[in-house]
Structure 1
């Protein structure tokens, strides 16, 4: 397949061949006769004319003639031969040539001599039509002529007797049409003429014609030459004048892929044609007037004022040399030279190789493409493949001053559409020169963006690529290193200076990496940006989010101030003072944002991670000095956070600070962490607490809440187990594994002020505050409500005396032992603490019937808890109580001077009066369960329904009346029992008095006032009195029993019981009753 440029060259040759054919036709036509007076032509004359024509055409076959006529102009007596419809057949390969009318004037003298010599030829209507393509090269040689054009001219001369004298005066062509059916294009010629003179040794010819487009002339061609029959060579000089290139191009569809040139062409050419029609040498020049050149599509015009090209062709080497090339474009003047070499064969049907060395581009006054003032020198080697058309250029060098750019690439056509690509590189040049060399109109947007944001310094190691697809899409890529300039990340941030790094810019995106760079923050210092980078996905549309990754390193203040520039304003949002501390900061910030002039925080996404080291902050709240080796920092659009380990007044601790930026955030920032709390640390902060209340070295969690315009709040939380002791308080079973926490809260004033003390966790809750004693001014802590589960609710006061000793007191409130939860562990006291606690409780509830009120006394809190208290049973009888810790909980010892009143007030019995009581209770492992012992002396029983029922059943005379009147006295009452909340299990009880003795066991439910008892009762008569005074063990009796003892049982409600007795037991000694069990 032949390339379009090749076809262009071939058709140019064919056009010349066609023009030569016209000339040949003119010569051939000289043998017709046309006159104003018709003359009958004898057959012999007609045959002679046709024979001359055939001989002139070298014996070519396929020549056909229509009519042949001879006429004589009577005015000049000039015979003329008229030929009509002459078809030349195979005269020119692949072409069909028809001459519509040919009029040939005959020299009269030749007729007298029996010869036919033309004096003039006029052709009206030439139709040359290309009907098929020849596989062979075409030249001016006629068929059957090995000698080509020279031999053909000799044949014409011989046939018409030109050997002695050349006498063809003039050949004219009224109009001619050359049509290429394959290419659907045509060229018209008109006003053509040819004149030949000379001798047998040399012949001269001169001629010319006009080139037509749409029946109008678009240029003229004139030629003259000399033919040497002996050598067969011709020397031809031609002149081209006023050829309108674009109008001619429009007539030739096959030139559609050639750039449009709108200008007038003038030129000269000198040709030497050999014997066989081959071109032996050519040289000349082409000049263009003012005009423009466009792409084949008609876009992208480049205006020029003039163009001049001088050339010389060497057929032996098939090389064309160009010299004195000068094109004056509006943007620049191009001057230089080069050469072209032509080659046949190959897959593309041939190719052209060439070189320009050099072309000088000098900027014009407008310099619309931004050339350097010194201009550019271009040297290149290239190759043009013909089919498909492809221009490759290699070893291309662009020079401007000290600048050297090397490039290579290609340009071609794909289905009629232009495409191309190039790669280039350079070593080093100034940044401004780099922008000056950037061609205008080529990737303008990347260039404009770079010139706006990158300034000063130089670029080096430049490489790039530019491509243009057949679909009309541009692709550019530019890579370079930069050094020493300034770069603007964002219009709102100070520019980075002394930058050094790399860049890749395409027609759509841009990426930058900074191996070095700094930002000077006014009044604060310098921040190092080395290692930062930036990616812009769409430099055409700033709304597409770009990514900036800043690596910041420098003093804390300038780094914080950078983060306070719009649109971030992290300091303003958090109310942070950039001078909060001295430190070295390093951070990596990833920022995503559109490149718009006006940005809001909603347009920006950022994520900052880093740290600050060697932190020193002096005088926080006027008291605390903070230091840290390293603190980690993070920030995003929602919050900023700082965390790490440091010291406060020399005390080590951890910290985590957060400031929220969300819509729901109230600008309150929160600092949390863990610190070692001590009295010295609290004193350093100005926190007033009683001396010695906290041991040194307590690990505690803390927080500080900071709201701009408000007093900062703080809190400290510690586990009570970390205080070095455990509270001797039962815990809720579900939270037995937890330990209560102590919370201290306050606010930052001139001194840090505690506003709240709280204990919570494991079922314990307490709220308190620091107080100052009104009488002595000493500090104290008051817990207004210390709650443990649902059974303990009292106030706890802690005061110091003048010696600094602690004084604890429990005041008011209620302790409900009936709701005490089950527990598995006992109370072993307080390890590490020894304190006396004053107790003044409102109530101590044992069960639903028994409550101690107005409880007053002291408790000793140490490794063994104990104390002495007084209180009133259900608000009545005063009792004394001693308590002590045991393995299972708190045990007690109760005494009172009026046992009867205590029993009645407690709802135990209603008919007991007087006596002294001693009661001991020891807790069991089950909560609310105790084992106890009771002893009363000198008590009287009166109006007791249960005892009255027993005495009535056993029928002891007089005792019932005594019970209901003055009462029955007992000198001693003893009992051993177990208590499980409301149930009393009497294991053994004895009562001895002057009248009777009793022994019993059973159960008593105080909840529903029911009893189920059994035992023996012994009336004391003389025999019994004697036996009672005898040692009981000698006669087999137990305490409380004797001779005549009667067994009984009683059950039911205590106010109306049912009793039974066994009468036989009255006459049976006790030891026999035990033997027979009755």
Structure 2
């Protein structure tokens, strides 16, 4: 080449003077340089020739350079580098086969221009460029380094610096850059320096490097590292492999590569690593920062590039994460996994990661996902959050081994946001597709200083009950899960709501809610299942609630029970056994409701000794049942309180032998008793009361307490057999019924008779509706029913006795050992049933006082109304029948009827002596009497009126008139003889009729006819007109006789020789003659006082009234 240059110069054309001189100067200088170079070249050629001879003899053997040559080499090397000074302790030359020289230097020191040592290498070997040697230049072609020590540091801003030197010695950084790419780019400028212009490769062995990363707040040491630098033309490749000292039980290796063109900022780099701790790699790049939450070895590779402007291009990464845990802090419970695999591409311009695959396998489950992640809020190259959208396929879950068999989901999509300081993973929305349904989830996983803070919410449109149980971890509220698994038999679940909140150092709080439809479920093991159920269930604050808005239970008897509104609540699912409460709401037939209540563990009806068919009607029940959830639950551990409204009730069992009905009844049942109360009817009789049955007490007595209407309806219903009209109005009676299993029930009834009218026409007794009394009835529910006692205590009537019924329950008899009617009757009375007819009344003794009664009250002749034909026969046997004061009938016997009022016949003896017979018939609402005797004298004597009357026929008619005990009487006596009567004797003595007096004292005076009209009252006999006539005397009399004292106040006329004198009776009264004596008679029959007016003898009969008072008058 030099020759060519010289030839060119010699053939150049001449130039102008100035220019020629300048050109001559340049030519002279070039000539000198040529001569100098030629000398150097010749010298180097001579040197090489000499050395060549020696080298030829020592091929393959190292030859140490002499000091002068060592100095020449150092000078030549340093002459090619303007900023670095090289010094070495020893240098030797080895000629390899093929005449390739290799330079070996020992203890090589690199210093800067100021003499500060930059780097010390124990061994440096290299080959020299033959072309450069020909040009007289020492330029390495290949270099081998061994024992290099460097320090690499990255500050908080990402700037990097490289320094050389042994650890512990002062180090001066000679290379700084904004990032690793720029640092490597700086090597380009170094490689284009003349001394390295021929370099094709550099190999570094035994590299020791200290890497300090201020951004990651970590430091690493690389020992035994190797680095290769290859240059082919302008193409530069940098490779290396390293072993990192991480302090782990496993070894970490790292391989890196870098390719670019010298002078071009664009470059490609790649790094691969094996078993690198996750926290070591996480802080190397913002895109890997999420790895710091893991504790696991990571293997993988990353490829990236930078363009001519230094901008980072797409980063492709492959991560293989070994077995480890997710544990952001030491306090958070680790979440283990077996492996994680990820393939993604990071796009710096959009700060997004395109995740081609993210796969995780662990004991908690496995998943395969893809999607993208956005790095948000970048600060100094570090993202504050990762926002991702992932599509998960092949999701198999078994967190913490919760499931015996892992659960599998069809597909999952989700939006996530991850913050790392502190760890905070927010789930915006996750949609899990499972068997045709979609589960929407949102939540948060946060690492607090004390541990995990977890919250999760979810909604699902629908799920099958068996699938719910499959997805429900067996260890999460296991009792509730077991209840759902065992009791929710079928149906459709919808609108599923789930929630989980778990704070550090506290137990999780779980929420679960779902709606169900067409479900079949059990609420108690002993009960039939609920069918066609629709409602909702919730698990909140450890309380599990199931409410049925609709549903039914089919009872064994009575049909379907509508349980809409019924709920089941487990108060605290954490307790074992868990307490539960069933809130009952039901609508059914009474029989169906009772059928359920008689199942285990309740047995309400069985305990009460009653059948489930106790009553017909409708039942609307509500209440609560408290129990604990365990098998074979004893009845005494079940607490219940249930009320019900019964409507349209009918029962033939509630009251034995009677039909009961009610429009509405209230029912209450608890552990102590079953109670039914309200208003109803026994037959047609209104009643109000309650039925109470003790529970849990074997042999305890059930009872009915209430009131019953006393009225004609009561008489008819209970077949008492009283005639129509006996009872009027309506009152109340208190009723008590006691029932005991295995024994005949008992009953009692009592009333004050207020509002009840009672009337017994046959005895003339009545009780007004406003008058009070006492009525008590008691008996037993035998077959037939027994009425053991009937007590009546009312004004005017007092009695007690018993009633006997026929085998068919009809009235048979009522026997009252003592009946007291006012003050006029006291004796035993029996009522004898006659089927549908009015009962027969039998009086078997006692006494009766007609003066104090209106016995026989009835319709009289031609009786009408409801009483007509209604009365029954009356048989009377009295010890004494008192007619009036001092007059009684003993041994009274009578047979009467009340069919047309009180009528019949009777017999007896007046005051126990003279026999009489009689007839009683209804008259004016009472009884009229007709009394006869064939011994009128005996009657008068027995009555205490005339002690010495003899013979004669007696005929007395008594017609009721006025008040009680008052009668209008008509007495007729025929052929009675009267003798030795004090009053009559006194009278005859007073008028000095000697013959009559002697006759009276002897055989007596015969009266052919005695007739008297009078008003008989309980206190006196008012004689309005009377006469006694015989052949020898005629007497008239009127006045008042006091029955109580026996005193009389009479007046009249005595007409002697009445056979002749009686002609004047035409002008006077019967018994009075034309001539007669007016008299007065006072005192008693034993001590009479007689007064005679002698002047009346001379007064004709028609004018005799002027000598006497008018006869007494009585009211019509």
Instruction: Select which of 219, 223, 243 maps to 1:189.
Output: 219
Deviation at 1:849, TM superposition (A): 3.8
Cα-Cα RMSD: 7.1
Matched, 1:420 2:420: no
Instruction: Select which of 1045, 1051, 1058 maps to 2:1077.
Output: 1045
Instruction: Select which of 580, 585, 601 maps to 1:544.
Output: 580
Instruction: Select which of 842, 847, 852 maps to 1:810.
Output: 842
- The match for 1:535 is 567
Distance 1:128 1:814, change over 3 A: farther
- The match for 2:403 is 369
Instruction: Select which of 639, 653, 656 maps to 1:603.
Output: 639
Deviations 1:334-376 (A, max 9, x none): 3333321134499xx9764322212423468996435557665
Query: Which secondary structure does the structure 2 equivalent of 1:476 belong to?
Result: strand
> What is the distance in 2 between the residues matched to 1:239 and 1:487?
60
Instruction: Identify the range of structure 1 (707-716 vs 507-516) with the bigger mean alpha-carbon deviation.
Output: 707-716
Matched, 1:316 2:349: yes
Normalised to the residue count of structure 2, the TM-score between the two structures is 0.61
Instruction: Identify the range of structure 1 (537-546 vs 337-346) with the bigger mean alpha-carbon deviation.
Output: 337-346
- 8 Å contact kept, 1:823–1:926: no
- 8 Å contact kept, 2:392–2:412: yes
- 8 Å contact kept, 1:128–1:178: yes
Q: What does residue range 600-639 of structure 1 map to in structure 2 within 5 Å? A: 600=635, 603-605=639-641, 636=669, 638-639=673-674
Matched, 1:1033 2:1067: yes
Matched, 1:999 2:1037: yes
Deviations 1:263-299 (A, max 9, x none): 4455554555679986544343444443444696956
Matched, 1:981 2:1018: yes
Deviation at 1:450, TM superposition (A): 1.3
- 8 Å contact kept, 2:1023–2:1039: yes
Deviation at 1:707, TM superposition (A): 6.7
Deviations 1:427-455 (A, max 9, x none): 565x4444223345444433221112234
Deviation at 1:781, TM superposition (A): 5.7
Instruction: Select which of 430, 440, 444 maps to 1:396.
Output: 430
- 8 Å contact kept, 2:545–2:568: yes
Deviation at 1:797, TM superposition (A): 6.9
> What is the distance in 2 between the residues matched to 1:885 and 1:893?
11
- The match for 2:128 is none
- The match for 2:371 is 338
- 8 Å contact kept, 1:458–1:482: yes
- 8 Å contact kept, 1:915–1:940: no
Instruction: Identify the range of structure 1 (702-711 vs 974-983) with the bigger mean alpha-carbon deviation.
Output: 702-711
Matched, 1:449 2:483: yes
Q: What does residue range 1059-1078 of structure 1 map to in structure 2 within 5 Å? A: 1074-1075=1105-1106
- 8 Å contact kept, 1:205–1:224: yes
- The match for 2:895 is 858
- 8 Å contact kept, 1:998–1:1041: no
Distance 1:519 1:917, change over 3 A: closer
Query: Which secondary structure does the structure 1 equivalent of 2:470 belong to?
Result: helix
> What is the distance in 1 between the residues matched to 2:333 and 2:999?
137
Instruction: Select which of 921, 927, 934 maps to 2:958.
Output: 921
How many residues are aligned here?
902
> What is the distance in 1 between the residues matched to 2:89 and 2:853?
157
Query: Which secondary structure does the structure 2 equivalent of 1:537 belong to?
Result: strand
> What is the distance in 2 between the residues matched to 1:1027 and 1:813?
52
- The match for 1:509 is 544
Deviations 1:923-945 (A, max 9, x none): 2353233333334453526353x
Distance 1:173 1:897, change over 3 A: same
- The match for 2:388 is 354
Q: What does residue range 832-847 of structure 1 map to in structure 2 within 5 Å? A: 832-833=869-870, 838-846=875-883
Instruction: Identify the range of structure 1 (221-230 vs 973-982) with the bigger mean alpha-carbon deviation.
Output: 221-230
Distance 1:996 1:799, change over 3 A: same
Matched, 1:405 2:438: yes
Distance 1:545 1:963, change over 3 A: farther
Distance 1:612 1:481, change over 3 A: same
Deviation at 1:205, TM superposition (A): 10
> What is the distance in 2 between the residues matched to 1:529 and 1:1044?
105
- 8 Å contact kept, 2:777–2:790: yes
Deviation at 1:812, TM superposition (A): 1.8
Deviation at 1:465, TM superposition (A): 2.5
Query: Which secondary structure does the structure 1 equivalent of 2:765 belong to?
Result: coil
Distance 1:987 1:928, change over 3 A: same
Distance 1:350 1:173, change over 3 A: closer
> What is the distance in 1 between the residues matched to 2:474 and 2:1055?
139
Deviation at 1:869, TM superposition (A): 1.5
Query: Which secondary structure does the structure 1 equivalent of 2:939 belong to?
Result: helix
- 8 Å contact kept, 1:139–1:277: no
Q: What does residue range 785-824 of structure 1 map to in structure 2 within 5 Å? A: 785=817, 787=819, 789=821, 791=825, 793-796=827-830, 810-817=842-849
Q: What does residue range 550-699 of structure 1 map to in structure 2 within 5 Å? A: 564-569=598-603, 572-573=606-607, 592-594=625-627, 595-597=629-631, 598-600=633-635, 603-605=639-641, 636=669, 638-639=673-674, 660-662=693-695, 663=697, 666=700
- The match for 1:9 is none
Deviation at 1:538, TM superposition (A): 0.9
Larger Rg, first or second structure (1 or 2): 2
> What is the distance in 2 between the residues matched to 1:1049 and 1:1042?
21
> What is the distance in 1 between the residues matched to 2:114 and 2:327?
62
Query: Which secondary structure does the structure 2 equivalent of 1:492 belong to?
Result: coil
Deviations 1:122-154 (A, max 9, x none): 999999999xxxxxxx55499xxx995589969
Deviation at 1:786, TM superposition (A): 8.1
The answer for unaligned runs of 5 or more in structure 2 is: 1-82, 91-106, 122-147, 162-175, 197-201, 283-289, 725-732, 754-758, 1110-1116
Distance 1:868 1:326, change over 3 A: same
- 8 Å contact kept, 2:1055–2:1071: no
> What is the distance in 2 between the residues matched to 1:389 and 1:476?
24
Deviation at 1:496, TM superposition (A): 6.5
Instruction: Select which of 469, 494, 497 maps to 1:435.
Output: 469
> What is the distance in 2 between the residues matched to 1:1067 and 1:414?
152
- The match for 2:118 is 118
Query: Which secondary structure does the structure 2 equivalent of 1:732 belong to?
Result: strand
> What is the distance in 2 between the residues matched to 1:296 and 1:748?
85
- 8 Å contact kept, 1:831–1:862: yes
- The match for 2:56 is none
Deviation at 1:537, TM superposition (A): 0.9
- 8 Å contact kept, 1:335–1:360: yes
Distance 1:943 1:446, change over 3 A: same
Q: What does residue range 94-133 of structure 1 map to in structure 2 within 5 Å? A: 118-119=118-119
Normalised to the residue count of structure 1, the TM-score between the two structures is 0.63
- 8 Å contact kept, 1:943–1:967: no
- 8 Å contact kept, 2:523–2:568: no
